[in-house]
Amino acid sequence: MRPQDRAVCSLFLLLLALTKPTKNSDFHLAGDYLLGGLFTLHANVKGIVHLNYLQVPKCKEYEMKVLGYNLMQAMRFAVEEINNHSSLLPGVLLGYEMVDICYISNSIQPVLYFLAREDSFLPIQDDYSNYVPRVVAVIGPDNTESTGMAAHLLSLLLLPQITYSAISDELRDKQRFPSLLRTVLGAEHHIKAMVLLMLQYGWNWVIVLVSGDEYGRENGYLLSEQLAGEGICVAFQETLPMPQPNLALTEFEHERLVAIVDKLQQSSARIVVLLSPDLALHNFFREVLRQNLTGIVWIASESWSIDPVLHNLTELRHTGTFLGITTENVPIPHFSKFRVRRAQAGPPTPNKTSPPATCNQECDTCLDTTKSFSTILTLSGERVVYNVYSAVYAVAHALHSLLGCNETSCSKEVVYPWKLLQELWKVNFSLLGRQIFFNKQGDLAIGLEIVQWRWDTSQSPFQSIAFYHPTQRQLSNISPVSWNNPNNTIPLSMCSRSCQAGQRKKPIGLHPCCFECLDCLPGTFLNQSDEFDCQPCPNFEWSHKSSTFCYKRRTVFLEWDEAPTIVVAVLAALGFLSTLAILVIFWRYFQTPMVRSAGGPMCFLMLTPLLVAYLAVPVYVGRPTVLTCLCRQSLFTLCFTVCISCITVRSFQIVCVFKMALRLPQAYSYWVRYHGPYVFVAFFTALKVVIVVGNVLTTTTIPTILSDPGNPKIMILSCNPNYRQGLLLTTSLDVVLSVVGFSFAYMGKELPTNYNEAKFITLSMTFYFISSISLCTFMSVYQGVLVTILDLLVTVFNLLGISLGYFGPKCYMILFYPERNTPAYFNSMIQGYTMRKD
Ligand SMILES: *[C@@H]1O[C@H](CO)[C@@H](O)[C@H](O)[C@H]1NC(C)=O
Ligand SMILES: *[C@@H]1O[C@H](CO)[C@@H](O)[C@H](O)[C@H]1NC(C)=O
Ligand SMILES: *[C@@H]1O[C@H](CO)[C@@H](O)[C@H](O)[C@H]1NC(C)=O
Ligand SMILES: *[C@@H]1O[C@H](CO)[C@@H](O)[C@H](O)[C@H]1NC(C)=O
Ligand SMILES: *[C@@H]1O[C@H](CO)[C@@H](O)[C@H](O)[C@H]1NC(C)=O
Ligand SMILES: *[C@@H]1O[C@H](CO)[C@@H](O)[C@H](O)[C@H]1NC(C)=O
Ligand SMILES: *[C@@H]1O[C@H](CO)[C@@H](O)[C@H](O)[C@H]1NC(C)=O
Ligand SMILES: *[C@@H]1O[C@H](CO)[C@@H](O)[C@H](O)[C@H]1NC(C)=O
């Protein structure tokens, strides 16, 4: 035998094996048109591998799946209801043929059976357009893997297939599966609902456990993709071992489960997403219970979110909160009674051949087991059941239009599957308040619900806590969850607590959810646009530590209530009073030789600007304005110039006038006639005015804002900083005058003490000179409020220097040594001097 022949033979044997007769009629209903139904009544992840013979798996020996039987009953119910109410398909009897696919291991054989003709023969034909297989449409199967397998075969003949719970997005590909439709939302929506749930409760640190099969891999991948987009981090992902047949636990599997549960125990994440068929979870949850794991929020995928058998493990309630994603509940009247009804003798069937029967169309324990779960199944509502129900109705509606039915009759013509498929794509009807039509991808847009597992018998075991609508992609109708913890608080699952305002995140490791919180430094702030870096404040603004904004810096200038101001003000007042006193004394003793030798009327020329300058000291205090800046920069220096030029001209007169009178009588007469001293003073004052005015014109006198390098919280409002160049220029004129005055004074140092003010002039001039230079130096290296204070201090000290340094000693003589303030005394002094010279 050639290999191909052997294959054909095997196939034939298979089909024969399937047609072994059996008594149970739950799986079969004769009718004018048959629907195929594929359900998982028994489950085993992988079939037992037969190496020495080929056999259809004996599903009966596997664990029974209550939900699968429930769904099968839904299909029977729908068909019976359609047959009962003649308005949809009047005069037409719908039949069915249902097979247990054993989760996956028996998924090919039933499909071949459905594709074959009544005589179990599947001919090879040029054109199948007129081929009539055993069934007109197939409902199911439930899981992605077997649905894919079936769809590959059914699509070849364009035999319509409607699955009620296979969510894989791969099945949306209508190039590969043109005849596959779904009454369930795709995986993308299921995962989206999960992610929205996490966002709702602020969880961003989750554990993902997936099964090692296609379901786990595919949905695990989808989930991690969507989580990354929402800033939720996966603490770790583990693959659950798939159980052996009969759920026996091997040594390796056990170790693996212990390790995984141990890891859950250690992790700081409290949210566990379980993407796995229910089969793989029994052993896992037993291990969870053995290790007393608590405080977890379990998020269930649709594959086990309403599984009554897992729910019956009531100790699970101590491990935390169970939340699951499932199809919305659409109550189907009378279904819960039907679920546990024994099959009745159907309506009299047209006398054809005796109903064919196959293996895997039997389930001895199904009804009894379902009865024992009846309460919980009733309470959990019609969720996937409605998917099956609507799938059957969709086929019925398609038949209705294909057969051209009116209220009383249908034309019972032959139904070709590909024609039925065309009608199925077009159906649009309302069923129990839901609009049923298939979108471009062949999916039915039905809502999802998030349910919480409850164990209080009074309530629904799967209580709805939120609703997900596929078009809005949002959760709605959110009701409070009863968290299984002492204070019923929302469990926290965050790698790091969110930072306080004004703290930046410093990432730890690779996860964006794990970070340290660091305060922003003063002078920087946190803008929402960047959580990881503090941004520096703009110029002239400042911020406190850990701030989210900057404020304008405090403007600082000299104020009256500050200690330096008070000290200087007191000094200035004292200076003013003493200068006034000096003025009065000089006025009083105007005719005495002491006053005359001090310069006579010129003394008043010196004292008046001094008084004015003292009075003007307040321009240094308060917010600088253009006017006060102008005063600061010109008034004082002008006063000084007047004083210094007076002193200089007096020194000149004392020392040189006699010599000038002797040697240059002409010049002397001019000097006397034109009041030489006053001309001299006026000239230098005018020169100074020119310099000051030029200075003011070239630089602005508008007050400027400067930052203080020593104290960043403040800003200094000061007069133009470029003023120091002007200061140097104006000071240089005074310096020249001082040097000249000093030279004269030095030349006259042998003069009698009454005339000899050299040391006082030297003192004042040196002080003036040094203080001006140091002020300029200080201003060039430092720009603080201290500059203003120093400027003011230097000014006041200079004024005091002239007032007290020059006039003080003379007053002292006038008041305390009146005997020396007589013309006689002066004459004697001069005579003494002349004699010493001779
Ligand atoms: C169909 O009609 C029969 C007989 O009237 C009734 O017993 C059965 O409950 C009906 N089934 C459904 C699903 O309505
Ligand atoms: C779990 O708790 C039970 C009783 O509270 C205790 O006997 C058992 O040793 C605990 N198991 C573990 C793994 O801690
Ligand atoms: C049904 O078929 C059997 C044999 O195949 C025959 O004996 C019987 O009379 C038929 N009944 C009707 C109602 O045609
Ligand atoms: C639920 O589990 C308990 C014990 O674990 C068992 O006695 C009971 O029969 C189970 N319920 C169902 C409906 O199987
Ligand atoms: C329904 O269609 C049949 C033939 O297809 C026709 O005889 C009958 O009158 C129609 N009934 C109604 C109510 O239109
Ligand atoms: C289905 O019918 C409803 C109501 O008749 C209508 O609003 C909706 O647009 C229809 N959908 C499609 C896809 O034709
Ligand atoms: C529950 O609340 C009480 C008081 O409100 C508090 O003392 C206790 O720490 C809370 N327990 C938990 C687990 O949050
Ligand atoms: C924060 O950043 C955004 C975008 O980069 C920018 O538009 C905004 O002006 C910034 N806010 C502040 C206070 O700097």
Q: Do 621 and 541 sit in the same domain of this protein?
A: no
In which residue ranges of the chain is pLDDT below 70? Answer: 1-25, 44-54, 244-248, 343-359, 457, 657-658, 701, 709, 720-727, 748-759, 783-785, 830, 833-834, 836-838
Q: Contact at 8 Å (CB) between 700 and 626? A: no
Radius of gyration of the chain (CA): 54
**Which of the 8 DSSP states describes residue 722?**
T
Compute the distance between CA of residue 673 and CA of residue 319 in angstroms, rounded to an integer: 118
Residue 160, domain CATH? 3.40.50.2300
| Ligand 7 within 6 A of CB of 490 | no
Compute the distance between CA of residue 600 and CA of residue 580 in angstroms, rounded to an integer: 16
Q: Do 655 and 778 sit in the same domain of this protein?
A: yes
In a domain, 810, yes or no: yes
Q: Do 418 and 511 sit in the same domain of this protein?
A: no
| Ligand 2 within 6 A of CB of 291 | yes
| Ligand 7 within 6 A of CB of 528 | no
Residue 370 CA: which ligand is closest?
Answer: 4
- The residues facing 780 across adjacent strands are none
Q: Do 417 and 542 sit in the same domain of this protein?
A: no
Three-state DSSP at 477 gives coil
Residue nearest to atom 14 of ligand 7 (CA): 487
In a domain, 156, yes or no: yes
Q: Contact at 8 Å (CB) between 796 and 617? A: yes
Compute the distance between CA of residue 659 and CA of residue 661 in angstroms, rounded to an integer: 5
| Ligand 1 within 6 A of CB of 84 | yes
Residue nearest to atom 10 of ligand 6 (CA): 428
Residue with tokens 């009962």: 84
Q: Do 412 and 543 sit in the same domain of this protein?
A: no
| Ligand 7 within 6 A of CB of 486 | yes
Residue nearest to atom 12 of ligand 8 (CA): 527
| Ligand 5 within 6 A of CB of 406 | yes
Q: Which of 552, 587, 617 is the last residue of a domain?
A: 552
Q: Do 611 and 676 sit in the same domain of this protein?
A: yes
Q: Do 419 and 545 sit in the same domain of this protein?
A: no
Residue with tokens 């037969």: 50
CA of 530 from ligand 8 middle (Å) equals 9
Q: Do 778 and 703 sit in the same domain of this protein?
A: yes
Q: Do 647 and 537 sit in the same domain of this protein?
A: no
| Ligand 5 within 6 A of CB of 90 | no
| Ligand 1 within 6 A of CB of 80 | yes
**Which of the 8 DSSP states describes residue 466?**
E
Helix (H) or strand (E) holding 63: strand 63-64
Compute the distance between CA of residue 57 and CA of residue 89 in angstroms, rounded to an integer: 37
Q: Do 615 and 521 sit in the same domain of this protein?
A: no
| Ligand 6 within 6 A of CB of 375 | no
Pocket-forming residues, ligand 4, beta carbon under 6 Å:
312, 372-373
CA of 555 from ligand 8 middle (Å) equals 25
* Res 7: pLDDT: 44
Three-state DSSP at 620 gives helix
* Res 838: pLDDT: 58
Q: Contact at 8 Å (CB) between 228 and 195? A: no
| Ligand 2 within 6 A of CB of 294 | no
| Ligand 6 within 6 A of CB of 437 | yes
* Res 389: pLDDT: 95
For ligand 8, mutation pick of 529, 542, 550 (most atoms within 8 Å of CB): 529
| Ligand 6 within 6 A of CB of 365 | no
Q: Which of 490, 520, 552 is the last residue of a domain?
A: 552
* Res 502: pLDDT: 83
Name the residue among 334, 408, 405, 407 with its Cα closest to residue 33: 405
In the chain, the number of structural domains is: 3
Name the residue among 649, 635, 638, 634 with its Cα closest to residue 681: 649
In a domain, 574, yes or no: no
In a domain, 397, yes or no: yes
Considering Cα of 309, then 312, then 315, then 318, what sign does the dihedral take? positive
In a domain, 46, yes or no: yes
CA of 81 from ligand 5 middle (Å) equals 23
For ligand 1, mutation pick of 76, 81, 84, 337 (most atoms within 8 Å of CB): 84
Three-state DSSP at 341 gives coil
Residue 691, domain CATH? 1.20.1070
Q: Which of 552, 587, 614 is the last residue of a domain?
A: 552
In a domain, 221, yes or no: no
* Res 784: pLDDT: 67
Cα–Cα distances (Å) from 311 to 290, 305, 377, 589, 625, in that order, read 17, 9, 11, 119, 83
| Ligand 2 within 6 A of CB of 292 | yes
Compute the distance between CA of residue 804 and CA of residue 801 in angstroms, rounded to an integer: 6
In a domain, 767, yes or no: yes
* Res 245: pLDDT: 62
CA of 463 from ligand 2 middle (Å) equals 30
Helix (H) or strand (E) holding 326: strand 320-327
Q: Do 772 and 680 sit in the same domain of this protein?
A: yes
Residue 451, exposed/middle/buried by CB under 10 A (0-12, 13-18, 19+)?
buried
In a domain, 557, yes or no: no
For ligand 7, mutation pick of 485, 487, 492 (most atoms within 8 Å of CB): 487
Full residue range of the structural domain in which residue 507 is found: 503-552
Residue 287 CA: which ligand is closest?
Answer: 2
